[in-house]
Amino acid sequence: MVTTTRSTQTKAWAKAIAQPASEFPLTPLSVIAGQIPEGLRGSLYRNGPARLERGGMKMGHWFDGDGAILGVHFTEAGATGIYRYVQTAGYQAETAAGKLLYGNYGMTAPGPIWHQWQRPLKNAANTSVLALPDKLLALWEGGKPHALDLQTLETWGEDDLSKLSEGLTYSAHPKRDPKTGEIFNFGVSAGRNIILNVYKSDSTGKILKTAAVPLNGRIMIHDFVLAGPYLIFCLPPVEMQALPVLVGLSSFSDALVWRSQQPTQILVLDRENLSVVSQGEAEPWYQWHFGNGGVSADGMVTFDLVRYADFQTNQYLKEVATGQTHTPAKGTLWQVKLNPQTGKVTAMEEVVDRGCEFPVVSPFEVGQDWRYSYFSIHRPGVDFSQEPHGAIARYDYQTDTLTTANLEENRYPMEPIYAPDAQNGDRGWIITIVYDGNADTSEVWIFDADRLDTEPVCRLGLPKVIPFGFHGTWKPA
């Protein structure tokens, strides 16, 4: 019999999440190296789980951590940073009690089983952000968004965006059309039937139109694609065993089952009236995130995504919260071609075979043809089951070229964010938050988007460690 042992040595990356994060007020950020580009004017916002325990009790999954927002404001006077927890009702109640009270994605409520029935899931407000003209939304796909002040990050409370009635949720992956300013998003309702609720909003975030689309047993939908006149949803074969969740015997995460013999379902909607254009099926895969989508001259849709062979990625992400990962879950960048009138995938190709995640494009190119996709990526030669992404990269679809910014050992970047230059529309900057496991510090790194394989043009020190997060956005000044 062959036995294997797992290393119990603390990984450098695990120190970033070992303790609940500490807030800090609006603080001038010191320049460690280089200088802030003159054309970088605006605000970076990032969201992520910042507290994974309370009162000695550990949360069940990385997705369960309380959300905290990092804001970095760039002006002519320099850069300032601020970091604050989202003051959700659940966060405030647990702070007052000094212990965990609620269930969430990967955990049931502590205590007797009837606590599961008495207490709703806690809105962790920990996944992404949407910057609107007069407020910032902290997003968590299981509930309503929380509105915050754009400068101080003060929490104002839940926001229904004029049409989110009781029970409707708002996903963490809205898409904003760069030409019209329209914002598209969705939420999933689970009851007697599973419903995909789709929203069309104006540039202020106000929901103008909604549609309810019944789904065939699929509930795990995290992201979607805006591609020209279409909204495209890929529904992987993940189903929930509802009864254990309803009676409080299982968390939502533990009740999700991968059905390897079932297809991925494709759902294409018309972005104007939110009606169903087509439905199709494809081979099974799982994805958390799409990069972008566009429509070619012949009417065919092209989009890219980070594809996983199965749902083992959920187990890996559960392990992240413990600081010790061992489940292999490699996602790689794929490009898909789709006939939107039939919902049929006509071609699917792996374009980057290294493990990666969090694909993004320039905000000017969302929903249309694009050349570059940016993402986090594993460093060559690392054990991706035990190490998070240690670099960021750009893939050039025109030249089939991968350009990588290697941050060296024990440095871990978060999702890259594209910030257009305010003085030159053809130029942009890639901003990421880097945790340095060698020094146990966090920094803001700014790269020239066209020169990722050179040194960052600027590095800024942050006063506290920022735990690994999920998603962010850039708001121009």
Predicted confidence at residue 114, as pLDDT, reads: 65
Predicted confidence at residue 120, as pLDDT, reads: 78
Predicted confidence at residue 2, as pLDDT, reads: 36
Predicted confidence at residue 116, as pLDDT, reads: 64
pLDDT tens digit sequence for 133-155: 999 999 999 999 999 999 999 99
CA 307/CA 291 separation, integer angstroms: 11
Residue 420's DSSP bridge partners are 428
pLDDT tens digit sequence for 239-250: 988 888 877 788
Give the residues of the chain that fall short of pLDDT 70: 1-8, 114-118
CB atoms within 10 A of CB 415: 25
Residue 3 covered by a domain? no
As given in the structure block, the two tokens for residue 162 are: 């004029």
Predicted confidence at residue 193, as pLDDT, reads: 83
Predicted confidence at residue 6, as pLDDT, reads: 47
Helix, strand and coil in the chain, % to nearest 5: 10, 45, 50
Helix (H) or strand (E) holding 54, with range, is strand 53-54
Cα four-point dihedral sign 198, 241, 143, 322: negative
Predicted confidence at residue 118, as pLDDT, reads: 64
CA 128/CA 169 separation, integer angstroms: 14
Residue 96 covered by a domain? yes
Residue 265 covered by a domain? yes
Closest by CA position to 369, among listed 233, 179, 228, 180: 228
pTM: 0.96
Cα four-point dihedral sign 389, 391, 397, 399: negative
CA 146/CA 178 separation, integer angstroms: 24
Range of the domain at 238: 12-476
CATH number of 208's domain: 2.130.10.10
Helix (H) or strand (E) holding 71, with range, is strand 66-75
Closest by CA position to 352, among listed 317, 327, 377: 377
Specify whether the CB–CB gap between 379 and 391 falls below 8 A: yes
Residue 2 covered by a domain? no
Residue 7 covered by a domain? no
Predicted confidence at residue 112, as pLDDT, reads: 76
Specify whether the CB–CB gap between 368 and 294 falls below 8 A: yes
Specify whether the CB–CB gap between 416 and 428 falls below 8 A: no
**How many structural domains are present in the chain?**
1
Residue 89 covered by a domain? yes
